Each structure stands twice: as structure tokens, then as C-alpha cells.
Amino acid sequence: MGACFNEELRSVMTRDRRLRDLKQLGLVYMVYPGAVHSRFEHSLGVYFLAGEAVEKLQKYHGLELGVEPIDLQTVKLAGLLHDIGHGPFSHLYEREFLPRVLNGCSWSHENMSVDMIDYIVDEHHIDIDSGILKRAKEMILASSEIAVPQRTGEKCFLYDIVANGRNGIDVDKFDYIKRDCRACGLGFNFQFERLMETMRVMGDEICYPAKEYLSVQKLFATRADLYRTVYTHAKVKAIELMLVDALVKANSYLNISSHINDPSEYWKLDDTIVKTIETATEGELKESRDLILRIRRRDLYQFCNEYAVPKDKLEHFKAITAQDIVCSQKASGVTLKEEDVAVCNVKIDLTRGRSNPLERIKKLEKLRRRMTWDSKDYESGDKFSVSDDRISHLLPTSYQDMIVRVYSKKPKLVEAISEAFENFQLKTYGVKAQVHETPEKKKRRR
């Protein structure tokens, strides 16, 4: 039944072209032309790696794990469908657009994936055991720390494979990191195959040899590099800010946000919404069309400057707004308005905010165990966290960056916004962390 079910479900996904029309990296392709791969490709990759992970554990442990064919099918099913609830343009839809149009929105693509699975099963009359479906959905939700305890039955280690909320090491990351690096032409020095070969089950969770901590560190460091150089590239963020503005302006007419709780309508929403706006003739969409036309012509919001929030200020950092910048303007010939300024607060971390991903949070051990390691290559059966005195001194001591980046929506205001941004830094931190010169300053220097 399991094999037949997966074949039928893959057939449904093939007929439903939605994941093919969702680019894995959203608008990144406008800066990195090779980044045109889709969430469909990524989902197939996670499906394959999820099966590989289970089979490697079975090969090493044999019958002691009690893994049955139905368990293998369940994990692969979770891998195949884990991203089916994603909105248009990667994470932009839920992280940037929805908060602008829905106050206090707590919607997530993981929850929508669960709803979409139920919709697909009902719509296509798929015969599947309810227990399999329940566990697969729990595995998809396992990326959330809060969801970690919500696991059905034994063999909890299976929940560490697709979306690991305990320590962040999962086949989802294995696939997208390698796939994104290749698509963007970046070097890739993390070999996830090594972790796949050395992972073992101890105490009903997946563990790794202590000597592999550098491999784990390289996984998280590569992910952080992708965030810094690709996902949050200054030009990529400029394009995203413009598209979000376009979607917000079009929302009241197209009701882009109205179906986030209705899978039967939500599945129709994908990246082609841009073409819908661009080719529309209605006057209500003129402002949105103009913004998309500016993107096409590369008439982007102009980058003014950025600064990294000091490490000692990260804990109490509050997102900077356009109002903060405008209120820092000194008397000049130009009066700035909030609608002239776009601010992007970029957070880059290894995987869990300001915490070292190699450490276990012992105070919340049952809920938030981070990483457990085998002490002697699985000989002793003891698990422990890798302490600071056992790791390389070349590894970072800080695990999160917060970068505040400011853009001007009108080219003529770049100089005024840049000066207001400098004033804001001086007022907030007592220094001006000027990183980039404005075009006007470059002219004066020449």
C-alpha cells in the first residue's frame, strides 16, 4: 500500500504544477541568474535524502531500531510534502507581505503544508492510513521547537530527519544548501554525506561522533554564508522591498492574503501573481504595475547604507523603522517622509539565534535539547554536549549578526536619507558606522 500511495501522490504533485511555479529562492534569480530552481525540485531532493537517511540508520543498527517499511514511507512522505504550503517568492510572502496586511498574523507555511496535505488527500480521494498521515504531518511541524514533544508513539528519532527542531541538522538543509550553492555558482565545502554516514540513534534521537563537530559547524557556517551573500544580498532585498510594496498595494483589489486559511483557494497562489499584476489593465493596479515595471527596468530602490548592530546591543535590539530614520533628519532643504524610506532589518545566524548550535540548553533539556554527541565514536553509549574547551579556538564566539540596511525609494533623496541614517546611528550608538559612500560623496571626493 505504501509504494502505491507514494506513486499516486507523486502523480498528484506532477499534475498540480504549483510547486513548479514557486521558485525555491524567490527573487534571487534577478541577481543570480542561475537560481531558477523550483520548490518541486527541492521537495524531490528532500524525499530522496529522507529515504537515504532511514536506510543508512537501518544498515548500521539492524533490527534493533524496529524500523518498518511503513516508517520509511512516512518519513519519505514528510520529505516530499514538507514545503507544499509555501507562499509565493520563498519566505517573502509570510515574513514580509502578510505582516504588512494582517496585523498580528501568526500564519506559517508549515501549518499550511499540513492543511494542504489534508486537502490533497480529500480532493483526490487518496486511500491512506490516518496514522501515517498524522505522523507525516507531525514530522513536517517538527522544525518548530514547540512542536518537538508532539510526537506519536515510539521511534522519535524519525522526527529528526526531515525538519529537526532540536538541533537544526536535517535533510531539508542538506538539500537546499547544496542545491542553492550550485545554482548560484558558489563554492561548496560542506559534505553532508559524511554526517549521513556517521549519524547513529542513541536514546531515541540521532547523534553524531564528537569528532564531527567541525562538519556540523561547516553546515551552519555555509548556511550563514548563503544568507549573507545570496538570500539577503543588498540588491535582492531592494527588489523584495519593491515587490512587497507592489503586493500590498494590489492586495485590496486582488485579495492576495484572503485565502491563507482556505487550501482550496490558496493552491492557486504562486509566483505568477506578478504576471497577473503586470498584464492587468485595471486602474486599481496601476501603482503595483508601475513598481513591477521599475523592477523590470532595474530602476530599483537605491541602497543608502547599512551598519551591523553592536554585539552588546543584540539582546535588546528593536527593529528599526522608516520613522526612526525620518525623525533623525536635521534641518535641510529636503523634508523626508516615511513613504520615501525603506528599512530592512537583516538577521543572520547559524541556526538558533544568538546561541551556539553545538551546545545543549540543559535548563530546558526535555524541550530544547540542541545537540547530543557520542563520547567515543558510539562505544560508551554516553551522550554529552561539546564544551568550549573541546572545540577549535578558530570557531566564532558570536553566533548572530543583525544588519540594518536603509534604501531610498526615490534616487534624488539618497543623500538626505543617508545623512539621516548617519544621524540615527550617532544618536543611538554614539558612532557613525559609515560603510558605503553615497554617489554625491564620491563626486565630492573626486
Residues tagged active-site: 109
CB 216 within 8 A of CB 68: no
SS (H, E, C) the chain: CHHHHHHHHHHHHHHCCCHHHCECCHHHHHCCCCCCCEHHHHHHHHHHHHHHHHHHHHHHHHHHHCCCHHHHHHHHHHHHHCCCCCCCCCCHHHHHHHHHHCCCCCCCHHHHHHHHHHHHHHHCCCCCCHHHHHHHHHHHHCCCHHHCCCCCCCCHHHHHCCCCCCCCCCHHHHHHHHHHHHHCCCCCCCCHHHHHHHCEEECCEEEEEHHHHHHHHHHHHHHHHHHHHHHCCHHHHHHHHHHHHHHHHHHHHHCCCCCCCCHHHHCCCCCCHHHHHHHCCCHHHHHHHHHHHHHHCCCCCEEEEEEECCHHHCCCCCCCCHHHHHCCCCCCCCCCCHHHEEEEEEEEECCCCCCCCCCCCHHHHHHHCCCCEECCCCCCCCEECCCHHHCCCCCCCCCEEEEEEEEECCHHHHHHHHHHHHHHHHHHHCCCCCCCCCHHHHHHHC
Residues ≥6 apart with Cβ < 8 Å to 276: 254
Grid coordinates representing 79? Answer: 520529505
Q: How far apart are CA 17 and CA 268, in angstroms?
A: 10
CA 284 to centroid of chain Cα atoms: 32
Please, what's the largest Cα pairwise distance for the chain? 77
Question: What is the amino acid identity at position 170?
Answer: D
* Dihedral (Cα; 436, 441, 443, 446), 10-degree rounding: -80
